[in-house]
Amino acid sequence: MEIFLAPLKFYSNVLLERLVKELSNRFSSKIHVIDLKVNLDDFFSVDRRQYYSTQIIAEVIKLTDEYDGKVILLTDVDIFVPALTFVFGEAQLNGKHSILSVCRLHEEFYSGISDENLLLERTVKEALHELGHNFGLRHCIDWDCVMHSSNGVEEVDIKGNTYCRKCRTVIGDYKYY
């Protein structure tokens, strides 16, 4: 099984390279960066000033038949689902596609101070979280598990940076302990 990262309105090649390296260390799968032609402006809500993540995933499903594995969309734009103010990501449970926004993972979003290492840590956690959903995992009650739900960035920081023992058994290609 391979993992494909598709940057969409994502502007940090350094963060992308560091994420590829982290995921390569954690999965025995090959990690690829792919270029998908998706105009995110088609999914922008003028009322919310955010992008509708469910619709973005629906569009990408039409474009990714050729990729055998998991496809993570990576973006800098702020995303939402109608029931929530914002989401860090959204994934198909037991599916192929997920989306991850780093917009609200940037420390400067909250404090005005940039911290690239903290951004990488948060991005890795949320990428693992969305991939976990793709592998069929639901939210975990263990705060040390990356599958713990995060309603705010503080909860992203508190939860662990890897899967708990129980969740890890579901993901066969995971090698990081």
Catalytic residues: 130
Could you tell me if 74 and 6 are in contact, meaning their C-beta atoms sit under 8 angstroms apart? Answer: yes
Q: How far is CA 163 from the centre of its chain?
A: 15
Could you tell me if 57 and 38 are in contact, meaning their C-beta atoms sit under 8 angstroms apart? Answer: no
Neighbours of 152 (CB within 10 A): 12
User: What are the φ and ψ backbone dihedral angles of 83, each rounded to 5 degrees?
Assistant: -80, -10
- Quick check: helix, strand or coil at residue 145? strand
- The one-character DSSP state at 155 is H
One-letter amino acid identity for 58? A
